[in-house]
Amino acid sequence: MQLSLTLIRPDDWHLHLRDDAALAAVLPDTARRFARAIVMPNLKPPVTTVALAAQYRDRILAALPAGLRFTPLMTLYLTDNTAAAEVDAAHASGFVHAFKLYPAGATTNSDAGVTDLKNCVAALARMEKLGVPLLVHGEVTDPAVDVFDREAVFIDTVLAPLLRDFPALKVVLEHITTQNGVDFVRDAATQVAATITAHHLLLNRNALFAGGIRPHHYCLPVLKRETHRRALLNAAISGNPKFFLGTDSAPHGQRTKESACGCAGCYTAHAGIELYAEAFDAAGALDRLEGFASFFGADFYGLPRNTDRITLRRVTVAVPDTLDYLPGDMLVPFRAGETLAWRME
């Protein structure tokens, strides 16, 4: 049995850092593990311009504890009104690395999202021309569509037509949850990739109802059935560079999760690489973790690979019931009150 694993320092290609006190509470967990992260722009109000992204980036760097090196890779929130000139500005900025498409109403803070991609033709054409990636929350919002089918329907009715219209557009289908997502990305053009979360590799939808309703396992896209989890795991360990690590760690206070209408999001940053090691180990594929976690995302984004290393040891680690978050509101981490199988040195 392998007792330790050393790999080039990983990056997180999909992360929610929030802002202000929440940002300060969660940032150290990511910055200890990951060299860089693609930072989601779904703040209130959303990060829609390069100027707002610059300010948000400054707040992230100011919140970084002394001694930790970490580079936030900023994204802009695509809206019906995003101008092509904003794409030019993002491309020229050197610190904005992508635009994020939230279909309006699909998830947390997506109200300002896109109502119809027809409104974004000019921005999308410029992104395609300049090679600026579009990061996609791939779910339709039609309440008539079964919540477990929303990713598959999005692929058929939105993503496939989008790539027909913009065949060279760089796209990351974020946090894929289905065999449909795996198949689509695998068979699409080379500049189409996907991130996969640790929680979607480790859990199927039974985890939402294990012994009672489990709000801390509720995220969007929602967990799917076991066949889909296996498809994700096979994609992650396949060595295909189109699939790479994106935690989608998404903190929400305990009060807003444990509620009659709980928020979507799992907080996994406290074990951001350890949970992936567990999933890969269970599949007998620890040797595939480094490509998925440390190489393929950097290659996709055209950024240099990291050169320093981290070491994970096979040690049982207890996860606290709660972590400090906001005054009067705690954060319930993934695996709260349970254990992790790996520890990062």
Contacts of 184 (CB under 8 A, 6+ apart): 155, 159, 160, 173
Bridge pairing between strands 339-344 and 309-318: antiparallel
For 7, 31, 150, 155, 260, the CA distances from 139, given in Å and listed in that order, are 33, 29, 5, 8, 23
- What residues make contact with ligand DOR under the rule CB under 6 A? 16, 42, 107-108, 137, 219-220, 250, 264-265
Report if residue 151 touches Zn ion, rule: CB under 5 A.
no
Q: Give dist(CA 22, CA 110) in Å, integer.
A: 19
Among 29, 151, 248, 278, binds Zn ion (CB under 5 A): 248
Decide whether 193 or 250 has the Cβ nearer to ligand DOR.
Answer: 250
Region binding Zn ion by CB under 5 A among candidate stretches 148-156, 247-255, 295-303, 318-326: 247-255
Active-site residue identified among 187, 248, 299, 324? 248
128 contributes a contact to Zn ion by CB under 5 A: no
Task: Work out how close the CB of 4 gets to Zn ion at its nearest, in angstroms, rounded to a whole number.
Answer: 31
Strand segments, DSSP code E, in the chain are: 4-8, 12-15, 36-39, 71-77, 96-101, 134-136, 171-173, 192-196, 243-245, 309-318, 323-326, 329-331, 339-344
Question: Angle 295-301-303 (CA atoms, 0-180°, nearest 5)?
Answer: 70
Q: How far is the CB of 123 from Zn ion (least distance, A)?
A: 20
Q: Which residue is nearest to Zn ion (CB)?
A: 248
Query: What does 134 interact with, of ligand DOR, Zn ion, none (CB < 5 to 8 A by kind)?
Result: none
Q: Pick the stretch among 120-128, 151-159, 242-250, 308-316 that binds Zn ion (CB under 5 A).
A: 242-250
Give the 3-state secondary structure percentages of the chain, helix then strand then coil, rounded to 5: 40, 20, 40
Strands 309-318 and 323-326: unpaired
In the complex with ligand DOR, which residue's Cβ is closer, 9 or 216?
A: 216
In the complex with ligand DOR, which residue's Cβ is closer, 82 or 107? 107
Residue with smaller CB distance to ligand DOR, 93 or 109: 109
Is 149 annotated as catalytic?
no
* Binding of Zn ion by 274 (CB under 5 A): no
Residue closer to ligand DOR, measured from CB, 163 or 222? 222
What is the Cα–Cα distance from 115 to 305, expressed in whole angstroms?
36
- Annotated catalytic residues are 248
Give the residues lining the site for Zn ion (CB under 5 A). 248
